[in-house]
Chains A and B, each alone.
Chain A
Amino acid sequence: MRDITTRIAPPLPTTAEKLKFYGMWVGLALFLLVLPKIFASGGALTTFCLIGISIIFALSYNILLGQTGMLSFGHAVYYGLGGFLAIHAINYFGGHKWPIPLPLVPVIGGATGLFFSALIGWVMTQRSGTAFAMISLGLAELIASSALILRSFFGGEAGVSANRTKMFRVFELSFGPQIQIYYLVAAWTLIAIIAMYALTRTPLGRMCNAVRDNPERVQFVGYDPHVVRYLAFCFAGMFAGIAGSLAAINFEIANSAYLGAVQSGTVLFAAYIGGIGFFIGPIVGAIFVTVLSIGLSDLTSVWQLYFGLFFIGVVMFTPGGLTGLMMMHRPLWRAGMLTKMLPSYLLAGVPTFAFLTGIMLAIETTVHYTAHPNEDPNIRAFGIPFNATSPLTWSAAVLLIVVGFILARITWRRVAHTWDETLTAARAKVHPL
Chain B
Amino acid sequence: MRKTLLAAALALPILGSAAAAEDTIKIGYIDPLSGGGASVGEVGLKTFQFLAEELNTKGGVLGKKVEIVPLDNKTNPQESLIQAQKAIDAGVRFITQGNGSSVAGALSDFVTKYNERNPGKEVLYFNYAAVDPVLTNEKCSFWHFRWDANSDIKMEALTNYMKSTPSIKKVYLINQDYSFGQSVRSQAKAMLAAKRPDIQIVGDELHPLLKISDFAPYVAKIKASGADTVVTGNWGQDIALLLKAAADAGLKVNWYTYYAGGTGGPTAIKQAGLNHQVFQVSEGLANLDHQPSRDFEKAFRAKYDFGMFYPRAVNQMRMFAAAADKAKSTDPVKVAQALEGMTFEVFDGGEGFMRKDDHQFFQPIYISSLGERGDNEPFDEEKTGWGWRLVAKIDTQQTVLPTTCKMERP
- A positions within 8 Å CB-CB of B: 39, 41-44, 46-47, 50, 145, 148, 156-159, 161, 163, 165, 176-177, 247, 251-253, 255, 257, 262, 288, 291-292, 294-299, 301-304, 310, 352-353, 356-357, 371, 374, 382-383
- Interface membership of chain B positions 95-125, coded 1 if the CB is closer than 8 angstroms to chain A and 0 otherwise: 0000001100110011001001100000000
Q: Which 5 A-B pairs have the closest CB atoms?
A: A295-B9, A43-B89, A297-B72, A176-B117, A44-B14
Q: Is the CB of B102 within 8 A of A41?
A: no
0/1 string, B1-35, CB within 8 A of A gives 1: 11001101110111110100000000000000111
Inter-chain contact B113/A255, CB cutoff 8 Å: no
Q: CB distance B105 to A161 under 8 Å?
A: yes
Quick check: A43 and B178 within 8 Å, CB to CB? no
Chain B residues within 8 Å of A44, by CB: 13-16
- Determine the residue in chain B with the shortest Cβ distance to A48: B14
Query: Pick the contact of A177 from B74, B102, B117, B177 — CB < 8 Å?
Result: B117
B86 at interface, CB cutoff 8 A: yes
Q: Which chain A residues lie closer than 8 Å to B8 at the CB level?
A: 295, 299, 382-383
- Complex contact A253–B77 (CB within 8 A): yes
User: Once the chains bind, are B14 and A41 in contact (CB under 8 Å)?
Assistant: yes
A176 to B42 Cα, complex, angstroms: 34
Are B9 and A42 closer than 8 Å at their CB atoms? no
A residues less than 8 Å from B116 (CB atoms): 176
Instruction: Kindly list chain A residues whose C-beta atoms are within 8 Å of the C-beta of B35.
Output: 304
Contact B85 A43 (CB under 8 A): yes
| Most B Cβ at <10 Å: residue of A39, A158, A302, A371 | A158
CA distance A176 to B76 in the complex (A): 23
Judging by beta carbons under 8 Å apart, are B12 and A295 in contact?
A: yes
The answer to whether B102 touches A158, judged by C-beta atoms less than 8 angstroms apart, is: yes
Interface band, chain B: 35 or more
Among A43, A374, A382, point to the contact of B303 (Cβ < 8 A).
Answer: A374
CB-CB < 8 A to A297: which residues of B?
A: 33-34, 72, 74
Pick the residue among B9, B76, B134 that contacts A299 (CB under 8 A): B9
Q: Is B322 an interface residue (CB 8 A)?
A: no
Report whether B89 and A42 are in contact in the complex, using a CB–CB cutoff of 8 Å. yes
List 8 additional contacts besides A41-B15, A291-B6; criterion CB under 8 Å: A43-B13, A43-B86, A165-B117, A177-B117, A262-B76, A294-B13, A304-B35, A374-B303
- Bound Cα distance from A357 to B5, whole angstroms: 11
Question: How many whole Å from A40's CB to the nearest CB in chain B?
Answer: 10
| CB pair A298 B12 closer than 8 Å | yes
Task: With A41-B16, A253-B106, A301-B33 as known contacts, state yes or no: A50 contacts B82, CB within 8 Å.
Answer: yes
Which residues of A are found within 8 Å of B82, using beta-carbon distances?
46-47, 50, 294
- Judge whether B225 is part of the interface by a CB distance below 8 angstroms: no
Q: Are A257 and B1 in contact (CB under 8 A)?
A: no
**Chain A positions within 8 Å of B134 at CB level:** 158
Query: Does A42 lie within 8 Å of B14, measured CB to CB?
Result: no
Q: How far is the CB of B257 from chain A (nearest CB, A)?
A: 20
Residues of chain A with a CB closer than 8 A to B89's CB: 41-43
B34 touches A158 (CB 8 A): no
- In the complex, chain B residues 62-109 whose Cβ is within 8 Å of any chain A Cβ: 71-72, 74, 76-78, 81-82, 85-86, 88-89, 101-102, 105-106, 109
B74: nearest chain-A partner, CB-CB: A297
Q: Which residues of A sit under 8 angstroms from B109, Cβ to Cβ?
A: 161, 252-253
Say whether B178 contacts A148, CB under 8 Å: yes
Cα distance A42–B85 in the bound complex, in angstroms:
7
Among B42, B102, B116, B209, the one with the most A-chain Cβ atoms within 10 Å of its Cβ is: B102
Which residue in chain A gives the minimum CB-CB distance to B105? A158
Which residues of the other chain, B, contact A46 by a CB distance below 8 angstroms? Answer: 82, 85-86
Q: Which residues of B contact A382 (CB under 8 A)?
A: 5, 8
Contact B102 A255 (CB under 8 A): yes
Instruction: Give the residues in chain A near B5, CB-CB below 8 Å.
Output: 382
Q: How far is the CA of A304 from the CA of B32 in the complex (A)?
A: 13
Distance between Cα atoms of A41 and B42 in the complex (Å): 29
Instruction: Give chain B residues whose Cβ lies under 8 Å from the Cβ of A298.
Output: 12-13, 71-72, 86
Flag whether B297 is at the interface (Cβ < 8 A): no
Tell me which residues across on chain A come within 8 A of B71, comparing CB atoms: 298
Interface residues of B in 106-153 (CB under 8 A from A): 106, 109-110, 113, 116-117, 132, 134
Closest A residue to B1 by beta carbon equals A356
B33: chain A residues at CB < 8 Å are 297, 301
Q: Given the complex of chains A and B, what is the CA–CA distance between A161 and B109 in angstroms? A: 8
Whole-angstrom CA separation of A374 from B106 in the bound complex: 35
Beta-carbon contact of A301 and B34 below 8 Å: yes
Provide the residues of chain B in CB contact with A253, threshold 8 Å: 77-78, 81, 106, 109
Contacts of B81 in A (CB 8 A): 251, 253
Q: Is B179 an interface residue (CB 8 A)?
A: yes
**10 A-B residue contacts at CB 8 Å?**
A41-B15, A41-B16, A42-B85, A157-B178, A161-B106, A165-B117, A251-B77, A255-B102, A298-B71, A302-B34
B residues within 8 A CB of A163?
113
**A166 to B: closest C-beta gap in Å:** 11
Task: State the Cβ distance, A306 to closest chain B Cβ, in Å.
Answer: 8
CB atoms of B13 and A291 under 8 A apart:
yes
Query: In whole angstroms, what is the CA distance A291 to B14 when docked?
Result: 10
Interface centre among B18, B35, B72, B132 (most CB of A within 10 A): B72
B102 near A47: Cβ-Cβ < 8 Å = no
Contact A291 B10 (CB under 8 A): yes
B177 and A148 form a contact (CB under 8 A): yes
Among B82, B88, B305, the one with the most A-chain Cβ atoms within 10 Å of its Cβ is B82
Q: How far is the CB of B91 from chain A (nearest CB, A)?
A: 11
B177, closest chain A residue (CB): A148
Q: What residues on A are CB-neighbors of B132 within 8 Å?
A: 158
Query: Considering only CB atoms, which chain A residue lies closest to B101 in the complex?
Result: A158
Instruction: Say whether A295 contacts B13, CB under 8 Å.
Output: yes
